Amino acid sequence: MTDLPADLSAAVRRFAEGRKGLGDSSARISEHYRQRGASRQVIGGADDAVAYALSRMPATYAAVSAVLDELQARAPDFAPRTLLDAGSGPGTAGWVAAAAFEGIAATLMDHNRAFLTLAARLAEGTALAAAELLEADLGRFQLATRYDLVTCAYALTELPDAQMLAAAEQLWRHSDGVLAIIEPGRPRDYQRLLTVRRQLIELGGRVLAPCPHERACPLVEPDWCHFSVRLSRSREHMRMKGGTLGYEDEKYSYLIIARPGIGAPAAGRVLRRPEENKFSVTLAVCGADGLESRVVPSRDKSAFKAAKKLDWGDATTE
């Protein structure tokens, strides 16, 4: 489980205190995102922004955490000093990066002032307090600086197809080290990420994850590459979501692209939840030679033990 850090959830709760109708706003926002609507049409002011932070931020935080964990596993020596979080919303990826990379100087960029205002309030008194806030459009931004790490979480998805590649290219041009793009784990977003992947490889980027190779993706429709992260639901979160389950599973797709010389991809990636019985573990692995169904028999004791520890999304060493 990856949950919001205590200081962040306390800050969100403080900002939400005394505001009425957040449950309704949250339901409206969730429905809007399910219908693939863009934030701008539904996040108009402080109440909407905080309803987002209560209902969606725990899940996007968990997905970004999973991706930055993977970045650290693939590039253990990469120690970014500067971050651009594009489409930052309330600062989600900034919070994750500040925890992962101590002392990182963050720039949070968004075109929605309500989100930036909330990001600034949540950051007060924390490692993100000095973050620079930039009101700018992902579709056409041009900054004087390049950043060691650029993140873009659940934001590219809001751009129309016609603007997406240009935006991805700009993100890459602003990155001196690594670009991490996290998107909802839906077939449409995976297909768009494939286009982005092709383009960034052409521009000299190296794929660090999730793919163990830079060839065409071997998955065949209706399959799509996506992953899942579990997070617990706080009482407010459950109230916002109107549910009784104490956790939820967030599906996401992602790409980590690095400048040459930074890190190395894994040998393989587990693409589904492993199937396990007492005789064997079966792993769906994407590797250098394409897709493979690996059956590890229980009689091969050490390999079986290692395979039982693997989960959907994990890297494999061969």
Q: Which residues bind ligand SAM (CB under 6 A)?
A: 38-40, 57, 60, 87-89, 92-93, 110-112, 115, 137-139, 153-155, 158-159
Rounded-to-integer distance, Cα 41 and Cα 20, Å: 20
Minimum separation from the CB atom of position 186 to ligand SAM (A): 13
Rounded-to-integer distance, Cα 268 and Cα 172, Å: 25
Residue 171 near residue 150 (C-beta atoms within 8 A):
yes
Q: How many CA atoms lie within 13 A of 217 on its CB side?
A: 23
> Which residue, chain included where needed, has tokens 């579709």?
139
Taking alpha carbons only, the member of 187, 179, 127 closest to residue 157 is 187
Residue 116 near residue 137 (C-beta atoms within 8 A):
no
How many CB atoms lie under 10 A from the CB of residue 36?
12
C-beta closer to ligand SAM: residue 54 or 257: 54
Q: Which residue is nearest to ligand SAM (CB)?
A: 89
> Which residue, chain included where needed, has tokens 């969100």?
12
Rounded-to-integer distance, Cα 197 and Cα 214, Å: 9
Minimum separation from the CB atom of position 30 to ligand SAM (A): 11
Minimum separation from the CB atom of position 92 to ligand SAM (A): 3
C-beta closer to ligand SAM: residue 254 or 310: 254
C-beta closer to ligand SAM: residue 35 or 244: 35
Minimum separation from the CB atom of position 49 to ligand SAM (A): 9
C-beta closer to ligand SAM: residue 153 or 270: 153
C-beta closer to ligand SAM: residue 159 or 310: 159
Minimum separation from the CB atom of position 119 to ligand SAM (A): 9
Minimum separation from the CB atom of position 294 to ligand SAM (A): 33
Minimum separation from the CB atom of position 155 to ligand SAM (A): 3
C-beta closer to ligand SAM: residue 26 or 39: 39
Residue 164 near residue 199 (C-beta atoms within 8 A):
no
Enumerate long-range contacts of 138-143, CB under 8 Å, 24 or more apart.
138/86, 138/87, 138/109, 138/111, 138/167, 138/170, 138/171, 139/163, 139/166, 139/167, 140/166, 140/170, 141/86, 141/109, 141/170, 142/170, 143/84, 143/174
3-state DSSP percent of the chain in helix, strand and coil, to 5: 40, 25, 35
Minimum separation from the CB atom of position 312 to ligand SAM (A): 21
Q: Is 260 exposed, middle or buried (0-12, 13-18, 19+ CB in 10 A)?
A: exposed
C-beta closer to ligand SAM: residue 57 or 122: 57
C-beta closer to ligand SAM: residue 158 or 206: 158
